[in-house]
Amino acid sequence: MHIMEGFLPVRHAVGWFAVAAPFLAAGVRSLKRIVGEKPSARLLLGAAGAFVFVLSALKLPSVSGSCSHPTGTGLGAILFGPSVMSVLGAIVLLFQALLLAHGGLTTLGANTFSMAIVGPWIAYGVYRALRASGASLAVATFTGAALADLLTYVTTSVQLALAFPDATGGFVGALLKFMTIFAVTQIPLAVAEGFLTVLIMNALTAYSSEELRALKILPEGRADA
């Protein structure tokens, strides 16, 4: 998913920075509010950021010389909301670009939009919708995290197709090609990430139930949901 340094045309790179900027501004405000209102959530914030860094740094080869990896953004989006994850995700992507040559600075806007904005909003929206319909915490967490991972790569495919339309099929032809390349590894990775996120949530339910109640993940007076 990390589009490499210098790969996008300049106008596309600049455009994705512009698209991501309002989400990042909202995320900074949300992050300040959460830290101010719930100081005890700082450890969970750090853990959510570390979870994203570790998972999204794992490169697994795909076809045609590309690679895939989990994203890890679903967990933080469920815990703190999607706006906060836009900031944490952008920070992770910046450090990966500087320290691991994973992604790039010129493509930071595009990578932030796909992994740190679209993914978290998908996770949060799906999680909330399922919980409102009566789904269990495990089912809602699994579905939100898995779809966040998968839709991140759909978004990256759209970004690449916009930048490099197919000579004969145009945008649609390029989109189908990019999505097919990523789907080979990303569908099973999305499922695996969903299960891993459920395991992490179960651990948090067991050992950090008070913090989860403060974040309204667990209802008051109950150890699980």
Condensed to tens digits (0 to 9), the pLDDT of residues 83-136 reads 999 999 999 999 999 998 888 999 999 999 999 999 999 999 999 999 999 999
- What lies within 8 Å, CB to CB, of 97 at 6+ separation is 2, 5, 103, 104, 105, 108
pLDDT band at 214 (very low <50, low <70, confident <90, very high): confident
Please check whether residue 48 is in contact with residue 76, taking contact to mean a CB–CB distance below 8 angstroms. yes
Helices (H) and strands (E) in the chain, counts: 9, 2
Q: Dump strand ranges (E) for the chain.
A: 60-61, 67-68
pTM: 0.91
| Domains, the chain | 10-209 (1.10.1760.20)
Residue 204 in tokens: 């948090």
Is residue 225's pLDDT more than 70?
no
Mean pLDDT of 170-188: 88
Is residue 68's pLDDT more than 80?
no
Which pLDDT score is estimated for 58?
81
pLDDT in tens, 138-161: 999 999 999 999 999 999 999 999
pLDDT in tens, 12-46: 999 999 999 999 999 999 999 998 988 888 889 99
Phi, psi of 61 (to 5 degrees): -60, 140
Which pLDDT score is estimated for 84?
95
- What lies within 8 Å, CB to CB, of 101 at 6+ separation is 5
pLDDT band at 184 (very low <50, low <70, confident <90, very high): confident
pLDDT band at 186 (very low <50, low <70, confident <90, very high): confident
Which pLDDT score is estimated for 129?
98
First vs last Cα of the chain: how many Å apart? 33
